[in-house]
Structure 1
Amino acid sequence: MQQDAGNVNGNGEEEPAVGSGGRTGQGADTDARFRRSAAFLADEALGFLYPAALRAAADVGVADHLTDGPRTPTELAAATGTHARNLYRVLRLLATRGVVAEDEQGRFGLTEAGQALRSDAPYSARAAVLMLTDRTMWLPGSEMSRCLTEGGSAFDEIFGMPFFDYFAQDDRTAAVFHDGMAAMSDAENAPLADAYDFPTAGTVVDVGGGHGGLLMEVLRRHPGLDGVLYDQPHVLAGHRLGTEEAIAGRWTLADGDFFAAVPPADVHLIKRILHDWDDERSALILDHCRRALRPGGRILVLDAVVPSGNAPHQAKALDLLMMASLTGRERTEADFAALFEAAGLRLSRVVPTPTVLSVVEAVPA
């Protein structure tokens, strides 16, 4: 019979415990340390299954059927047209991450943290989850070693063309991306608009501004400002500026390519754009903004600023998505300073916000 403790031999000395491989002292401690490391790394390697489960739950819309309280997997499967036992297995894993919780009756309910998985929730994250776990993001991540051995993006090899070229010829993927980006941005826009001291008058141009969520929040708070939403025509078709009465008559749409030119402004907003592109292309966008700035104007880059040290930060994870699927990267404050200098600009300050993004302010050098 095996025992956890060592046995005492005929000389009154304790022998090594069964299962320790006969090691004692420092050797046994080293053995245990490496066993713990192996178990930890195996657990980490299984981590990809959490976002896979989150995607599955978002895809079938299970959270939409939990608005009125917990339900059993059988009830949820009937409501979503899914397999009850397999749905239970997905929910059981999500419960370990606090997205849902199982009660004593075997029913699952949304936690406070999981509420935004509902399609009808304020600041719903469902579209953002579907975007971030879409195959255009997922598959390049699985081929990330290409980025290390060959440099560049893994996306091109998998899909046969660069990221945005693929989106331009695939309407489904383009819709997933733009809807997901709008959902990801919605929860950030109000805190970002509150964090910066915008001028009381003038024109704000949101460069690559998508559906206009950020510009709407800025104009709502500053009645003396006018706004221009600048993006490609197919993106502008989904804009939401007309839904806000408080900004009526103070905004216009402008379509174009920010690699060619941008409209003139007192303030240019560039939110989650530069991280998509390498330094050369990012500097080109910034150079166009600098040339179009009115006297006394400023450029506001709203991106994550990667902190130093070992602490977790969303930008450190998102940086690998940029590496695998696009050509860009998340940047440190020093990276932004160098990028601005290449575009004839100077980093004047970094304004932190309650979101993962900062307002990185640039002025002509």
Structure 2
Amino acid sequence: MSPEAVADEVVDARASSAFLVNESLGYLFPAALRAAAVVGVADHLADGPRTAAELARATRTDARSLYRVLRLLATRGVFEEDAVGRFRLTAAGDALRTDAPCSARSAVLMNTDRSMWLPTADLSRCVTEGTSAFEHLFGLPFFEYFAQDEDTADVFHTGMAAMSDAENGPIADACDFPPTGTVVDVGGGHGGFLLTVLDRHPALRGILYDRPHVLAGHRLDTPGTAGRWSTESGDFFTAVPEGDVLVLKRILHDWEDDQCVALLDRCRAALAPGGRILVVEAVVPPGNAPHQAKALDLLLMAALVGRERTAPEFAGLFEAAGLKPARVTPTPTVLSVVEAVAV
């Protein structure tokens, strides 16, 4: 090898090493994003730019430390620092305000909560042992821990509702609902998606099905939906309310294949004649292109027992549950509508 080729190889190796070192520091951005969300910085920038010192007084934080957090977030377009050291909200950062339309603050707090964060630091355990890291760290499986920790459960369910708010409309528009009948939102949380569906389809009725402590925070009681909804509580692995359309939005990815098949079997038994099951999930695409499903898959691996799936993997679950795969409809969000009917 010529001296020039050796020199080029050394330069390439240094560049690759620098790239990987920089990638290994990537966790500091969500850490900074969480810090800004916790203290509510964005709420104090709604009326215009302010210095870190002014923001520190408003948020009762340390000015120098706050400045360093904001400076990093400015490199990613959440805030923008001007020539005199004042920070302003960008279009992206505006969604961090508590009262912003489709605020992401609760979702950020959920995704960076220690119940999500700590297991991901132990991914090597998942890789070597083929199991979730959550129970090792917290002493209980994910949902059992949430059932006995009210504060963490509230962070999770509020965060899921916030994460869903921006996607509910486009997903509801992509779904093929009948003109009349009953839609059952299985494991539907606070009911944001079902509310959107009922608002768009005035002749439909809806049932929100979840655990009692989750249903306590439902959002269905609006003038436009009066008399067209009800809530039912229970264990969806045991039984599911009957309906013409059963929706499973961000549910199957929480569970192992055999649990998904059991749940889908309960849904098949609850379908009215000619009914359909709509599984709303991120479908992992082939190839090397970035997709949020590939990142969320690791979060699921670390904290739960489920995973994100490809379209053929969903088809396999349907067939095992006595269902026929129908179609996969992409939406403008990261989620798709994967449809199944009874055989």
TM-score (norm 2): 0.99
- 176, 186, 198: which is aligned to 1:207? 186
Aligned partner of 1:47 in structure 2 is 26
Deviating runs (4+, > 6 A) in structure 1?
none
In the alignment, which residue of structure 2 is the partner of 1:223?
A: 202
* CA distance in 2: counterparts of 1:130 and 1:42, whole angstroms: 26
Q: Which residue of 2 aligns with 1:20?
A: none
Q: Which amino acid aligns with 2:97?
A: R
Matched, 1:256 2:234: yes
What are the Cα deviations for residues 329-350 of structure 1, in whole angstroms up to 9, with x where unaligned?
0000011001111111111000
1:75 aligns with 2:57: no
Residue 24 of structure 1 deviates from its aligned partner by 1.9
Shift of 1:362: 0.5
After TM superposition, list the pairs within 5 Å mapping 1:318-357 onto structure 2: 318-357=296-335
AA aligned opposite 1:24: P
Q: Aligned partner of 1:165: which letter?
A: E
Structure 1, unpaired ranges of 5+: 1-22
- Aligned-partner Cα distance in 2 for 1:109–1:281: 47
Structure 1 equivalent of residue 293 of structure 2: 315
How far 1:104 moved relative to its partner?
1.2
Please tell me whether residue 240 in structure 1 is matched to residue 219 in structure 2.
yes
**Residues 161-201 of structure 1: CA deviation (Å, up to 9, x unaligned):** 10011101111110110000000011111111111221001
Structure 2 unaligned runs (5+)? none
Structure 1 residue 54 displacement after superposition:
0.1
Instruction: Measure the CA separation in 1 of the matches of 2:53 and 2:285.
Output: 45
Deviation at 1:101, TM superposition (A): 0.3
Please say if 1:100 is aligned against 2:84: no
Could you tell me which residue of structure 1 aligns to residue 96 of structure 2?
117
In 2, Cα distance between equivalents of 1:187 and 1:283 = 29
CA shift for structure 1 position 144: 0.3
Kindly indicate whether residue 266 of structure 2 is the aligned counterpart of residue 297 of structure 1. Answer: no
The one of 257, 261, 286 aligned to 2:264: 286
1:80-129 per-position Cα deviation (integer Å, ceiling 9, x unaligned)? 00000000000000000000000112100110011110000011110000
Deviations 1:230-274 (A, max 9, x none): 0010000000100x2111110011011101100000000000011
Structure showing greater radius of gyration is 1
1:155 aligns with 2:134: yes
Tell me how far apart the structure 2 counterparts of residues 194 and 56 of structure 1 sit (CA, whole Å): 35
SS of the aligned residue for 2:218 comes to: coil
- CA offsets per residue over residues 41-70 of structure 1, 9 Å max, x none? 000000000000000000001111000011
- Are 1:25 and 2:4 an aligned pair? yes
Query: Residue 87 of structure 1 aligns with which residue?
Result: 66
One-letter identity of the residue aligned with 2:142: F
CA distance in 2, matches of 1:346, 1:221: 27
Aligned-partner SS, 1:331? coil
Tell me how far apart the structure 2 counterparts of residues 300 and 196 of structure 1 sit (CA, whole Å).
8
Equivalent position amino acid for 1:316 in 2: K
Amino acid at match of 2:260: S
Q: Distance in 1 between matches of 2:43 and 2:182?
A: 40
| Aligned partner of 1:178 among 157, 163, 175 | 157
Number of residues paired by the alignment? 342
Deviations 1:252-299 (A, max 9, x none): 110111011000000000000110111111111111000010000000
Counterparts of 2:40 and 2:83, CA distance in 1: 24
Residue-by-residue CA offset, 1:180-235 (whole Å, 9 max, x unaligned): 00000111111111112210010000000011110011111111110000001000
What's the counterpart of residue 144 of structure 1?
A: 123
Q: Does 1:128 align with 2:107?
A: yes
For residue 241 of structure 1, give the secondary structure of its aligned residue in structure 2: coil
Q: Distance in 2 between matches of 1:247 and 1:349?
A: 29
| CA distance in structure 2 between the aligned counterparts of 1:351 and 1:139, rounded to whole angstroms | 34
2: CA distance, partners of 1:245 / 1:354:
29
Q: CA RMSD in A?
A: 0.7
- 1:240 partner letter: R
- Alignment partner of 2:83: what SS? coil
Partner of 2:261, secondary structure, is helix
TM-score by length of 1: 0.93
- For the residues of structure 2 that align with 1:228 and 1:65, how far apart are their CA atoms? 39
Q: Distance in 2 between matches of 1:192 and 1:297?
A: 19
Identify the residue that residue 39 of structure 2 maps to in structure 1. Answer: 60
Q: Which amino acid aligns with 1:55?
A: R
